[in-house]
Amino acid sequence: MFMMRLGLLLISSVALSACSVLHLGDSASGVSVVGKNTYCGTPSQQSEAHYFATPGAFQNWIDYRNISGFSPKMARNGVLVVEMGQRPTGGYNVKLDGKKTGLKNDVLTVGMDWHAPRLDAAVSQAMITECVALHLPQGQYNKVRVVDQLGNLRGSVNVSGSKSSS
């Protein structure tokens, strides 16, 4: 019995190591987080998605919103910014969900987990406007859809041309 458990533990360890070496976590789809910020200057409570094809366009947005912590270098190959919208307290966050992220036809769907604090949670009384900057994979698609863990559309953007490798 001990040897069987030891064998299962060894197999599990090798499998998990392979996943991390082969990058089969959230970035298996090719989408990866390049930045995150608690204050993104979002003007409304609506969630939004923005695509910046060039570092210059991303820099203009960073300057307009007065955001620290983001760099135009993040947009070297284009960057998608997913904004949660204004929230009245701390405790809200958004994370990439690799399981809901994938390419179908010419549409890249990016899954995000949207979390709110529990009703009885002790939270700060401060306006937050969290956003996440994502690097998108190379591929043949012209639209990006952002969905939450329930499949609700949180934003979409058209990507000018396909993101094919050069």
Say if 163 falls within a structural domain.
Answer: no
Q: What is the CA radius of gyration of the chain?
A: 18
Segment 37-89, tens digit of pLDDT: 988 888 888 999 999 999 999 999 999 999 888 999 999 889 999 998 888 77
CB count, 10 Å around CB of 96? Answer: 22
Residues 14 and 35 in one domain: no
Residue 86, domain member (yes or no): yes
Q: What is the pTM of this model?
A: 0.76
In this structure, is residue 165 part of a structural domain?
no
CA angle 35, 91, 58 (to 5 degrees): 25
The backbone torsions φ and ψ at residue 2, rounded to the nearest 5 degrees and listed phi first, read -60, -45
Give the total number of structural domains in the chain.
Answer: 2
106 occurs within a structural domain:
yes
Same domain, 10 and 86: no
**Residue-level pLDDT at 3:** 52
Domain carrying residue 8: 1-25
Band of pLDDT at residue 161, cut at 50, 70 and 90: low
